Amino acid sequence: MEGGTLGTITVGVDVGGTKIQSAAVRAKKVAGVHRLPTPLTGAKDVATAISEAVAKALADAGTPPTDLRAVGIGAPGAIDTEAGTVASSPNLPGFQAAEPVPLGAMVADALGGVPVMLDNDVRVAILGEWKRGAGRGYRNLLGMWVGTGVGGGLVLDGRLYQGQGAAGEIGHMIVKPGGRVCSDGRRGHLEAYAGRGQMEVHARRLVKEGHKTDLFDIMAKRGRTRLSSGVWAVALEKKDKMARELVDDAVEALGVGLASVQNLLALEAIVIGGGLGDRLGPAFVDRIREAMGPQLFVPDQPPALLSSEFRDLSGAVGAAVLAGG
């Protein structure tokens, strides 16, 4: 680094089930970004892709690697922030087992020893929205990200709450005992109804049973291999019956889950993001608000329901904040 000083830029990386998004942050502003698909071939390739995403974000910012101060990573699953490990992440290939994977050390090694900080992807995303985005000014809020899975992060009394390391996992709240199978193999979880991955699993099952839908034709025409948020949005615009019914199920489950959290914690605000949450936008948030209403113990004190401000950059910006950016 020039003059032996600390680097001037921090890169945050949001690791999702389908994409890896990076953002280079300088002076609290996004200076460069990059996105690439999440490898499906294991932890080593995921770590390599993260390193590539960091390098490409720096290049987009017009900044040499020598100016890199630190890297923050948000990843799904059970995170040991001190050890820099990821475990039990059903939507991330190579990280499904309970055996911790030292992702932080793997990325640090690939980047020549740059400091790397790691936390849960949604906790990191809500950190970004709380400090810089839609959650500014609130001391008690939940961030819920609806994407491949459903994750959550809590800010309580003005502090990001980690619990024993897996706090905020709203996607694994039970909303229908004995219901659909979740990505972790258990039944009735919120993610089984509102996580895009499990919505696709259910849609494929219905097609095998003879039900009709344009979802998979839309997927093929858009050159996708999975039912992306954009595919669901187009299907809804075309009034596809199966898409409407599955999104209705998701909204109902989200209303039950969020109302239960509100009844327990009396939050000031809930920020909704993630691929599906961002793509379906304010109308989706409004439907969730309506579904929550009848379930609230104190209906005249509902939380503010907010769309994420950084949208698909929330996680990457939050990861940069985590690393001091």
Question: pLDDT digits over 278-309, tens only?
Answer: 999 999 999 999 999 999 999 999 999 999 99
More confident residue, 120 or 38: 38
Percent of the chain residues topping a pLDDT of 70? 98
Strand order, beta sheet including 150-156: 159-161, 150-156, 141-146, 269-273, 304-307
* Residue given tokens 């942050």 in the structure block: 25
Residue 4 has pLDDT above 50, yes or no: no
In angstroms, the CA 313 to CA 37 distance is 15
pLDDT band at 144 (very low <50, low <70, confident <90, very high): very high
Asked if 74 and 13 count as a contact pair (C-beta separation under 8 A), the reply is yes
In angstroms, the CA 267 to CA 279 distance is 25
Question: pLDDT digits over 80-120, tens only?
Answer: 999 999 998 887 888 988 889 999 999 999 999 999 999 98
**Average pLDDT over every residue of 167-174:** 91
Asked if 138 and 155 count as a contact pair (C-beta separation under 8 A), the reply is yes
Asked if 76 and 63 count as a contact pair (C-beta separation under 8 A), the reply is no
Question: pLDDT digits over 186-223, tens only?
Answer: 999 999 999 999 999 999 999 999 999 999 999 999 99
Residue among 156, 91, 88 nearest 123 (CA) = 156
pLDDT score for 1: 33
* Residue given tokens 């899975």 in the structure block: 149
pLDDT score for 6: 56
| Strands 85-87 vs 78-80: parallel, antiparallel or unpaired | antiparallel
Residue among 153, 191, 199 nearest 171 (CA) = 191
Q: pTM (2 decimals)?
A: 0.83
Note the residue count of the chain.
325
pLDDT score for 251: 98
DSSP single-letter state for residue 182: P
